[in-house]
Structure 1
Amino acid sequence: MAGIGDSWSASSSPRRRTCVVIGGRGFVGRWLVLELLKLGKWIVRVADSDESPQLDPSAEWDAFLSQAISSGLASYHHLDVRDKSSVLRVIKGSQAVFYTDVTDLFGQDVYDSYMIIVQGVKNVINACRECKVKRLIYNSSADVVFDGSRDINGGNESLPYPWKYADMLSDLRAQAEALVLFANDIDGLLTCALRPSNIFGPGDTQLVPTVVKLAQSGWMKFIIGGGENKCDFTYIENVAHAHICAEEALCSRIVSVAGKAFFITNNEPVKFWEFTSLLLEGLGYQRPSIKLPVSMVYYFCLLLEGIYESLGITKNSYMLSARHSVQIASRNRTFDSSAARKQVEYLPIVSLEDGIARTIASFSHYSRDSFYGGQGDFPEHSKADWMLGGGKVADILLWRDEKETFTYFLVSEVLFYWFFISGRSFISSTAYLLLMMTMALFGYGHLTSYLFDKTASFSCFDIQKSVVEKLLGSIISLWNRGVHIMRSLAHGEDWNIFFETAVAMYFLKLIVSYYLTFAVGAALVGSFTCFFIYEQYELEIDALEKVLISGMKTLKGWLGSFLPLSTMLHHGKQDLWHEDSSKCQKIVCNDH
């Protein structure tokens, strides 16, 4: 971005042509406008769905655009591609049209997404024909040939469109691309489409922010599959450069370019998880290290989507489903861009390494230091962390350190097998364990004195006085709580405690009598998974909890209808007394 203003001021041409960049305030459109203005050959009409350009003076490209607008070399136009008259008004008098993403599809349903992407392209094509525009370049995506069911290794333009897509956005873009290519050479309009693969760079609103948010929430610790799958990534400045090359090619090499689509990449295929790791490391996050089977993650996402649907949580049409995200992260998706090199004369102007470095620098506000410094959009401590006390137990159960947590989990599984599944009685298992510990300690002490000529130190077995006092305090607190409950039961007036205690004792009887081994195993696995899952899906689980609590209150009211009237009146008086007490406390607090 350095030297933008100098490059623009140095370039001057007496005859400038007029072009329109539809979606000029989007990720691709913004960079394309910048590159067009730097050439000094164009008067650029920036068209987007926002009422105003919303320029940020602190952003270098916005300052550059503001300068261009002031000098008459650029102009901004509000555009609704669903309105043909609006499209005609913006396009009229231009020689070339670049069509990029016109709006953010967040919150749009299937119908609106179709109208914006497919119907919008139809309106643009018709407007170009009516206004005698010579060239139309459409920014498509390499995903239009990917259905998620197979790898793509060095795919070229001969790949057909899939019969079925895993996500709605790719389906709609494929329809729009086909319309653009079919419109070629009708009423003098020349068209072509570019298919960039995995665009990234400064100003990215999808790839990099998604990866960072997953890292902040703890999900980027995992690698889906073996981690060897390769993908092509394309730096944003190369994508903008490819659009300019395509327009120039339509002017001179009509037969070989017009009506065709071209894959655009950095020509540097890289392992998907290596690229992700480089981004995360550059921003201070941990590299993904835990490998999970693709099938396991796929069916987990399938279960998760079912839970979402049962809770009434629906995804927008543009969003990739969880299963499709798994396919993207685990499949090979590399493309051959030699056709673009030969026909369009496109070559990357920024290498992948430099592109990653520039991207990391531009997203410094997403770094780990900013996130944990409280400058991010997320709370420093999650609710799950608070419930676990925010100490060592929380760090273990929330997988803060994977190796440490896995060690504790493995030891717990061994002890579970030793005491519950081995077939021995609890006393026999304890005796065997103590015998093995005795032999191990004796052997350790003997070997250290024999090999190193010194006695082993066992200070690690010492327990600090404060730890013992804290443990005894917890035991005393539990004892006092139990005594309080027994006193309430002895009075025979608190039906709430009676029902809670009776149900708890009944389930405890069932567990101890029949399902003790299963219950301990489930509790062991659940403790290492439930809190971690709750931390990731806190809002959804809390919503389900509210539904369950509401149902329990209804059941409690139904059971209460069978109680004697005197008991109900007694509880009514207690509730009124508690309510009056609360009101009095509020009045006293307000007076103070």
Structure 2
Amino acid sequence: MVLNDVPLGEAKAIPRTCVVLNGRGFLGRSLVSSLLKLDDWIVRVADSAHSLLLDSSDSDSFLSDSLSSTRAHYHQVDVCDVSQIKTAFEGASVVFYMDFPNLDTNDFYTCYMTVVQGTKNVINACRECQVRKLIYNSTADVVFDGSHDIRNGDESLICSWKFQDMWCDLKAQAEALVLYANNIDGLLTCALRPSNVFGPGETELVPLLVNLARCGWTKFIIGSGENMSDFTYSENVTHAHICAAEALDSQTVFVAGKAFFITNFEPMKFWEFLSLVLEGLGYQRPFIKLPTSLVWYILLLVKWTYEKLGLRIDNHTLSACYIFQLISRTRTFDCTAARKNIGYSPIVSLEEGVSSTIEAFSHLAGASSLTHYCKFNEQSKVEKLLGGGKVADILLWRDEKKSFTCFLAMFLLFHWFFLCERTFISSAAKLLLLVSIILFGYGILPSNIFGFKVQRISLSCFEISETVMKDAIATIALLWNKGLHYIESLAKGVDWNNFFKVAVSLYFVKLILSWSSTAVIGVALVLAFTVFFVYEQYELEIDGLAKFLFNYIEKSKASLMRNLPASVASSLHKLGILHEHKAAAEVKKG
């Protein structure tokens, strides 16, 4: 005998009613889909939109079918309107309180009323409607103060309450309200703190990375690039919410009123994670390391400039400071409590999560990863100009320590010869004497000092190979011959382009020589260690600007020729034709 297609003796579970508040946001959509797939939930999707706009995605198709079968319902809810909240909550046993999508973080009043006051309204509505369980989606950022690393942090960490990011501040207040409301009027609450959530449909991390990559900013690594972070795939976050709902019944003492960190259990280098996403979408992975202190001082300078100019520091500027701290610090969390008390374990690995995310954002992909990789291995223009050897590595800051050491050595030499108020010969003599004393002292040192072996300097370090000397002489001869070619061209008086090049160059030389030699050498030293590096990073932009200026000069030259008197223009034209004929004749003779 069967009853409703279920064999007698097997009671069919009665579907429970739950509310997913902000169910059309990034995590809200994922949670709604996961709940509907379990078949034992009636899901009320609550959001601020006037109507439920569905797209062609698989999750929305599934939701559409569930709406038709009355397993899902939609409620428009403004969390500032208690009556709307009550209507959605009436008869529900569980409320999943997810993140608000598309909040304007520059409007503090709206954010505060939505996040903090809205949470108070939600709690009160839960109590009045006799909702049994409230699960709040918080963030691991609530325990991060920005100035200290977190290594395997657990729930004993307290909220810093000194936030540079307004959103984290408001989330921390809302979390505290939810946890404080536990066991009041029979309401059981808990909060989940996922770390660095990513996945299909998210609107922050991947779109931001793509925009930065298209502007050329993702080539930089801030700091050493060794800082570790925990990441959480969106489906694992929604799985944790469902686990928490079940645990509030079976493990009430250990779960109610508590907060739990949620991660993928797979901490990895923060910059390696970004590299995987960027390469998967066809963009170049970060490879240029910038000192953390340098970037931080730049951000402080921007903030100081705003204050001095009397400008209001917007939340984007403050968020930039906070994001800088997030990406340059280690932040890993211990999820033992979540595993033990709510039974959470990731159901999607980090590798699978990254692959799914890349596939979901394929419409934002750039060129193929292979193309970017090949371009990355090719020498840049400036590297070819510098010869691609040790000099190029130093001036292009391939190795920060080596480049900084060379810059410091050059600066000390500059100070020794030009800033010490001695004659050049006196400075050179003293330097040679100092070097001689150091070399002699190094030479008489014993081979072993207190167990430390003293390395001897090989004589080959002071030798210059014949190849290097031949190349240097050949370069000098080439430059000499080029100079003679220019002089010959000027003597013929037919090549106006060369004349203008030489004239402009000599004018700049005259300007440079009018300065003191100390200033010229000092400026040249600074430019040598900055100009090449900057040009390599912004090669396309600078070349584009140069091309624009060149085209402008050409147009100006053509306009000038049109406005010259006819006799002068005719003479210049004839000289140009004569020069072309002579050049052609020389080519034929060759």
Q: TM-score range, shorter-chain basis? A: 0.5 to 0.7
Change (3 A) 1:479 1:293: closer
1:362 is displaced (CA, Å) by: 1.5
Aligned mate of 1:295, from 289, 293, 296? 293
1:31 is displaced (CA, Å) by: 0.3
Task: Please tell me the residue identity of whatever aligns with 2:282.
Answer: G
* Matched residue, 1:527: 531
Unpaired runs of at least 5, structure 1 = 1-11, 374-390, 427-438, 448-455, 483-500, 539-592
1:40 aligns with 2:39: yes
CA-to-partner distance for each residue in 1:62-120, whole Å, 9 max, x for gaps? 22222222222222222221222222222222211110112322354222211111111
Distance 1:259 1:310 in 2: 45
Distance 1:204 1:211 in 2: 12
CA radius of gyration, larger in: 2
Task: Indicate if the aligned counterparts of 2:85 and 2:122 stay in contact, CA closer than 8 A.
Answer: yes
CA-to-partner distance for each residue in 1:467-525, whole Å, 9 max, x for gaps? x999977544557999xxxxxxxxxxxxxxxxxx9xx9999787458733344345545
1:214 is displaced (CA, Å) by: 2.6
1:292 is displaced (CA, Å) by: 2.8
Distance 1:457 1:515 in 2: 31
Secondary structure of the corresponding residue to residue 172 of structure 1: helix
Task: Indicate if the aligned counterparts of 2:115 and 2:171 stay in contact, CA closer than 8 A.
Answer: yes
Unpaired runs of at least 5, structure 2 = 1-10, 372-378, 398-402, 425-462, 543-590
Task: Indicate if the aligned counterparts of 2:512 and 2:520 stay in contact, CA closer than 8 A.
Answer: no
1:446 is displaced (CA, Å) by: 7.7
Task: Indicate if the aligned counterparts of 2:380 and 2:536 stay in contact, CA closer than 8 A.
Answer: no
* Matched residue, 1:306: 304
1:52 is displaced (CA, Å) by: 2.5
Change (3 A) 1:120 1:370: farther
Distance 1:109 1:282 in 2: 35
Distance 2:389 2:322 in 1: 26
CA-to-partner distance for each residue in 1:224-256, whole Å, 9 max, x for gaps? 222222111111100000001111111222211
Q: How many residues align?
A: 466
* Matched residue, 2:209: 211
* Matched residue, 1:332: 330
1:517 aligns with 2:511: no
Change (3 A) 1:99 1:464: farther
Task: Please tell me the residue identity of whatever aligns with 1:327.
Answer: Q
Secondary structure of the corresponding residue to residue 95 of structure 2: strand
* Matched residue, 1:19: 18
* Matched residue, 1:28: 27
Aligned mate of 1:155, from 153, 156, 179? 153
CA-to-partner distance for each residue in 1:368-416, whole Å, 9 max, x for gaps? 218999xxxxxxxxxxxxxxxxx9769999xxx9999755547997999
CA-to-partner distance for each residue in 1:177-232, whole Å, 9 max, x for gaps? 01000101111111110011111111121222223333332332222222222111
Task: Indicate if the aligned counterparts of 2:227 and 2:328 stay in contact, CA closer than 8 A.
Answer: yes
Task: Indicate if the aligned counterparts of 2:22 and 2:99 stay in contact, CA closer than 8 A.
Answer: yes
Distance 1:328 1:251 in 2: 36
Distance 1:354 1:253 in 2: 31
* Matched residue, 2:88: 90
* Matched residue, 1:572: none
Task: Please tell me the residue identity of whatever aligns with 1:265.
Answer: T
Distance 1:259 1:408 in 2: 58
Percent of matched pairs sharing the same residue = 50
Distance 1:132 1:245 in 2: 21
* Matched residue, 2:281: 283
1:531 is displaced (CA, Å) by: 6.6
Task: Please tell me the residue identity of whatever aligns with 1:64.
Answer: F
Secondary structure of the corresponding residue to residue 369 of structure 1: coil
1:343 aligns with 2:347: no
Distance 2:261 2:247 in 1: 15
Aligned mate of 2:137, from 131, 136, 139? 139
TM-score (structure 2 length as normaliser):
0.67
Task: Indicate if the aligned counterparts of 2:228 and 2:267 stay in contact, CA closer than 8 A.
Answer: yes
Residue pairs, 1:52-201, within 5 angstroms: 52-57=51-56, 59-201=57-199
1:50 aligns with 2:49: yes
* Matched residue, 1:260: 258
CA RMSD of aligned residues (A): 4.6
* Matched residue, 2:236: 238
* Matched residue, 2:585: none
Secondary structure of the corresponding residue to residue 367 of structure 2: helix
Change (3 A) 1:537 1:313: farther
Task: Indicate if the aligned counterparts of 2:382 and 2:536 stay in contact, CA closer than 8 A.
Answer: no
Task: Indicate if the aligned counterparts of 1:224 and 1:330 stay in contact, CA closer than 8 A.
Answer: yes
Distance 1:200 1:178 in 2: 24
Task: Please tell me the residue identity of whatever aligns with 1:188.
Answer: G
Distance 2:207 2:187 in 1: 38
Task: Please tell me the residue identity of whatever aligns with 1:516.
Answer: V
Deviates more, 1:222-231 or 1:170-179: 222-231
Distance 1:281 1:371 in 2: 6
CA-to-partner distance for each residue in 1:545-573, whole Å, 9 max, x for gaps? xxxxxxxxxxxxxxxxxxxxxxxxxxxxx
Task: Please tell me the residue identity of whatever aligns with 1:289.
Answer: F
Task: Please tell me the residue identity of whatever aligns with 2:531.
Answer: S
* Matched residue, 2:551: none
Secondary structure of the corresponding residue to residue 208 of structure 1: helix
Task: Indicate if the aligned counterparts of 2:283 and 2:369 stay in contact, CA closer than 8 A.
Answer: no
Distance 2:360 2:74 in 1: 25
Distance 1:239 1:218 in 2: 32
Task: Indicate if the aligned counterparts of 2:283 and 2:367 stay in contact, CA closer than 8 A.
Answer: no
Change (3 A) 1:419 1:133: closer
TM-score (structure 1 length as normaliser):
0.67
Distance 1:509 1:151 in 2: 52
Secondary structure of the corresponding residue to residue 152 of structure 2: strand
1:297 is displaced (CA, Å) by: 2.0
Task: Please tell me the residue identity of whatever aligns with 1:527.
Answer: V
Distance 1:414 1:162 in 2: 40
Task: Please tell me the residue identity of whatever aligns with 2:84.
Answer: S
Change (3 A) 1:462 1:510: closer
Residue pairs, 1:430-441, within 5 angstroms: none
Task: Please tell me the residue identity of whatever aligns with 2:41.
Answer: W
Distance 1:182 1:247 in 2: 18
Task: Indicate if the aligned counterparts of 2:307 and 2:313 stay in contact, CA closer than 8 A.
Answer: no
